[in-house]
Amino acid sequence: MATVESLGAFVIGGYLGPIAIIGLAILPAAASARVAGRLVRISLLLTLPIAISVVLVSVFTRAGVHVLFSIGPFDATAEGVDFAGQTLVRLFAISTSIGLFGLTTEPRSFVLDLERRGLSPRFAFIALATLEAVPAMVERASVIASAQRARGLDTEGSVRARLRGVLPLVGPVILSSLTEVEERSLALEVRAFGRPGRRHLLWRIPDSGTQLIVRAVLLLALVAAIAGRITGTFPSLP
Amino acid sequence: MTGRALDPGAVSTSAIRTEGLVHVYDGATRALDGVDLAIARGERVAIVGQNGSGKSTLVRHFNGLLRPTEGRVLVDGADVADRRVAHLALTVGLVFQDPDRQIFAGKVRSEVAFGPRNLGRRGAELEGAIDAALVATGLDKDAETNPYDLGYSRRKLLALASILAMGTPIVVLDEPTTGQDARGVERIHRIVAELSASGRTVVAISHDMRFVAEAFERVIDARRADRARWLPSRGVRRDRLADARIDVP
Amino acid sequence: MLELTGVSYRYAGYATEVLHDIDLRLADGEIVGLVGPNEAGKSTLCLVASGLAPASVGGSLRGTLTLDGTPAAGLATHELAERVVVGFQNPNTQRSGIAATVFEEIALGPMNLGLAVAETVERTREAIERLKLEHLILRDPQRLSGGQAQLVGIASLLAMRPRHVILDEPTAQLDPAGTRLVGEALRSLAGTGTSLLIAEHKTDLLDGLCSRIVAIDGGRIVIDGPTGEVFDDPRLTGLGVERPARARLAAALATRGVEPGVLGGALEDATR
């Protein structure tokens, strides 16, 4: 959970200030959670599309004086390259921090922790139900596929045959989900899911003193960075 | 579920046979542990047993939805290993327990038409098969109704009709009577009897003991408690029951 | 006490009423069985008796539902949930979909009531013990068999310790062992003063469990009386309700000129 809050700080911090330094803080954290390799790979993959367009746009259209080379009417400037570089590093910092969050946080614990800190139980329910919705749908779809195959639906044949199979496969998934909605929501009401007010949660989400301190420090660093940037007391870094 | 339920004279006329059938889920759970069974053509067999005893797993091997981890499954004398599910559907019709996991058509009639059409039936033959199935399940007057305007128990009958119309020589039913009232159970009992009378093989998973005792001639009992053992076939003769006028086995 | 007086009900968007003039009373600690053919209104009656129709489902209700003296009409659905619960037969819809383990699933009800953690755990444990689900508590609720899911669904309702429990075909997915288990759990529950209304096709179960049977047909209550009397009533077969084994045996013996009374208690014990 501490990771969550710390990363919130990181993300915002990544916009301003010394990006390279932040990059140094994220990777060690990732290493301690043993996800460094995956993190780098995933972040690179995710930022690649944006990175390409950023590079193309800024290198060629950024107003600048020192022209490096030209393609047609477009001039590649040193200023453009510099800007592109800075933007890319920022992007990478953001994607790695979000990635770190995604790889180290269990969604369920996150939602429950939010509820413990004041999120309405209804929102918590919606978040958790959404998380579970996909696996449940997949399971349902697989049962439906079996039932239709048992009625002779050919799922291994030609493309035309498979297209014909779309409605019998998708139809029951949607229909049964919709028809179950009413009974589902009734069952939820019976179990007092609609009750206003707080709940006393069964789960204890571990939160040590160290995490508390780390969060506080990061938050202070963020505030300082923003203040410094605004007041212009921050030195310009390469 | 494991063990042997071989009827001495049934080998040459088996509709379904399994030899040393083993099925392991996820590399760890042994749902079936060496099952040998033979079901003769035209037989009416009920598979009973507690939840988790492997009944559903077993019957899903009959039409190829599940493949053996070890052992063989033979339908009509031929190993199912090389046959696709869609192809086995010509021989084995499996009615799933939850009708809402298969219904997709806007009308009862179209729903019933799906199975036989997949098997290549057309024209008068197709319409005849659908009509017969609707009459047997009491849905003939609702042919144009939307399936979801029928109650759950009638939707279950619709699922049954969908398989009946396919005209398969072997029909497998997974918990056909759950959710049915007395009339519904009677209707299903009649359908089982008619299927058998026309020479078709009927296999049903059920925990309705009365239905089992009345509609079937052989019971295979899968005991959960001790997976290494299961009761051999126990003949439950209907005429003996009728004499004693005892309905509960 | 749960009381329905002169209740007629019509679903939203439908012109005709599906329940007509229902009078039904459930005293504390009483177990009442509800029988009748499918589509006679059993499920609707369960919804109405729980107050969810019309509070959640809409539609229009004539007549009154009173829960322990309080009219249900003004209550919000969570206020109804504190007094009466209703369970349906489809285990898929009874599941919350958000619990990681069976224990959590059962605990959700009491937790939603805003109870302290200790109390929530206590009630959850009690429900688990009642339905002998100890071996399932760490399992994923999505990965249970139909029968196991149905038992978990019932436990989830019992954990809320409501004064009134309404169950629509609670043993539909259960084998005879599971059915007996539920019967015993409900019997012990009634012993604590909870009133129960159980809609079922399994008349043998109701025969051993209920003190009263109510038969419904075409949206009307046609029979309401003590179990023994009702199950000996020949009208039941005409309603498409199968009588329990005991009654069928007694009737068969009677036609042979044997007085069932001769066998006395032995008959009851043998067919239980």
Instruction: Determine the structural domain holding residue A20 and report its residue range.
Output: 2-106+208-231
**Is C240 near chain B, with CB under 8 Å?**
yes
What confidence score (pLDDT) does residue A230 get? 67
Tell the CATH superfamily of the C2-234 domain: P-loop containing nucleotide triphosphate hydrolases (3.40.50.300)
pLDDT digits (tens, 9 = 90+) for A54-72: 888 877 777 767 777 777 7
Q: Do C147 and B51 touch (CB under 8 A)?
A: yes
Q: Do A151 and B63 touch (CB under 8 A)?
A: no
What confidence score (pLDDT) does residue A26 get? 66
What confidence score (pLDDT) does residue A133 get? 84
In 3D, which of C202, C194, C197, C193 has the Cα closest to residue C173? C202
- List, as ranges, residues 82-111 from C with C-beta within 8 Å of A: 82, 85-88, 90, 92-98, 100, 104, 107-109, 111
Residue B248 pLDDT grade (very low, low, confident, very high; cuts 50, 70, 90): very low
Contact predicate B5/B32, CB 8 Å: no
Looking at the fold, whether A220 and A143 belong to one and the same domain comes out as: no
Q: Do C241 and B183 touch (CB under 8 A)?
A: no
Looking at the fold, whether A39 and A73 belong to one and the same domain comes out as: yes
pLDDT digits (tens, 9 = 90+) for C120-129: 999 999 999 9
How many domains in chain B? 1
The dihedral formed by the CA atoms of C35, C41, C46 and C50, expressed in degrees to the nearest 10: -150
Local structure of residue A69 (DSSP, 8 states): E
Looking at the fold, whether A91 and A161 belong to one and the same domain comes out as: no
What confidence score (pLDDT) does residue A54 get? 81
What confidence score (pLDDT) does residue B12 get? 55
Compare all CA atoms of chain C with the CA of A193 and give the residue at the minimum distance.
C112
A189 CA to chain C: closest CA distance, Å? 6
pLDDT digits (tens, 9 = 90+) for B2-41: 555 655 544 456 899 988 888 888 777 788 888 888 899 9
Query: Chain B interface, mutation test: which of C148, C171, C173, most B Cβ atoms within 10 Å?
Result: C173
Looking at the fold, whether A101 and A6 belong to one and the same domain comes out as: yes
Looking at the fold, whether A19 and A78 belong to one and the same domain comes out as: yes
On the question of pLDDT at B243 being above 80, the answer is no
What percent of chain B lies above the pLDDT cut of 90? Answer: 59
Residue B238 pLDDT grade (very low, low, confident, very high; cuts 50, 70, 90): very low
What confidence score (pLDDT) does residue A9 get? 46
* Structural domain includes residue A238: no
In 3D, which of B145, B90, B84 has the Cα closest to residue B112? B145
CATH assignment of the domain containing B185? 3.40.50.300
* Structural domain includes residue B224: yes
Looking at the fold, whether A32 and A82 belong to one and the same domain comes out as: yes
What confidence score (pLDDT) does residue B242 get? 35
When pLDDT is averaged across residues B77-100 and rounded to a whole number, the result is: 92
When pLDDT is averaged across residues C11-25 and rounded to a whole number, the result is: 94
When pLDDT is averaged across residues B221-237 and rounded to a whole number, the result is: 40
pLDDT digits (tens, 9 = 90+) for C154-190: 999 999 999 999 999 999 989 888 999 999 999 999 9
Q: Which of residues B2 and C39 earns the better pLDDT score?
A: C39
Contact predicate B75/B15, CB 8 Å: yes
What confidence score (pLDDT) does residue C36 get? 94
Q: Note the ipTM here.
A: 0.87
CA distance C113 to A196: 9
What confidence score (pLDDT) does residue A24 get? 60
How many domains in chain A? 2
* Structural domain includes residue B7: no
Tokens of B124: 């008068």
What confidence score (pLDDT) does residue C27 get? 95
* Structural domain includes residue B68: no
Q: Which of residues C104 and A237 earns the better pLDDT score?
A: C104
What confidence score (pLDDT) does residue A159 get? 85
Please give the interface size between A and B, counted as residue pairs whose CB atoms are below 8 Å apart. 71
In this structure, the number of other CB atoms found within 10 A of the CB of residue A141 comes to 15
Looking at the fold, whether A7 and A102 belong to one and the same domain comes out as: yes
Compare all CA atoms of chain C with the CA of B49 and give the residue at the minimum distance.
C175
- Per the confidence metrics, is the pTM higher than 0.80? yes
Q: Do A175 and B100 touch (CB under 8 A)?
A: yes
Compare all CA atoms of chain B with the CA of C248 and give the residue at the minimum distance.
B247
Enumerate the residues of chain C whose CB falls inside 8 A of the CB of residue B224. Answer: none
Instruction: Determine the structural domain holding residue B182 and report its residue range.
Output: 42-60+84-244
Residue B225 pLDDT grade (very low, low, confident, very high; cuts 50, 70, 90): very low
Q: Which of residues A131 and C69 earns the better pLDDT score?
A: C69
When pLDDT is averaged across residues B44-69 and rounded to a whole number, the result is: 88
Looking at the fold, whether A175 and A219 belong to one and the same domain comes out as: no
Looking at the fold, whether A100 and A127 belong to one and the same domain comes out as: no
What confidence score (pLDDT) does residue B54 get? 82
**Which of A187, A200, A202 minimises the CB distance to C88?**
A187
On the question of pLDDT at B123 being above 80, the answer is yes
CA distance C203 to C271: 12
Q: What is the pLDDT along chain A (238 residues), one digit of tens a residue?
A: 344 444 544 444 444 444 555 566 666 666 666 767 777 788 788 888 888 888 888 777 777 677 777 777 777 777 777 777 777 777 777 777 777 777 777 888 888 888 888 888 888 898 888 888 888 888 889 999 999 999 999 887 788 878 888 888 888 988 888 888 888 999 999 999 988 888 888 887 766 667 777 777 777 777 776 676 666 654 444 4
Burial category of B73 from C-beta neighbours within 10 Å (exposed 0-12, middle 13-18, buried 19 and up): buried
SS (H, E, C) chain B: CCEEECCHHHHHHEEEEEEEEEEEECCCEEEEEEEEEEEECCCEEEEEECCCCCHHHHHCCCCCCCCCCEEEEEECCEEHHHCCHHHHCCCEEEECCCHHHCCCCCCHHHHHHHHHHHCCCCHHHHHHHHHHHHHHCCCHHHCCCCHHHCCHHHHHHHHHHHHHCCCCCEEEEECCCCCCCHHHHHHHHHHHHHHHHCCCEEEEECCCHHHHHHHCCEEEEECCCCCCCCEEEEECCHHHHHHHCCCCC
Query: Lowest mean pLDDT: which of B88-102, B199-213, C247-261?
Result: C247-261
Residue A92's identity, in one-letter code, is: F
Q: Where are the domains of chain C?
A: 2-234, 242-272
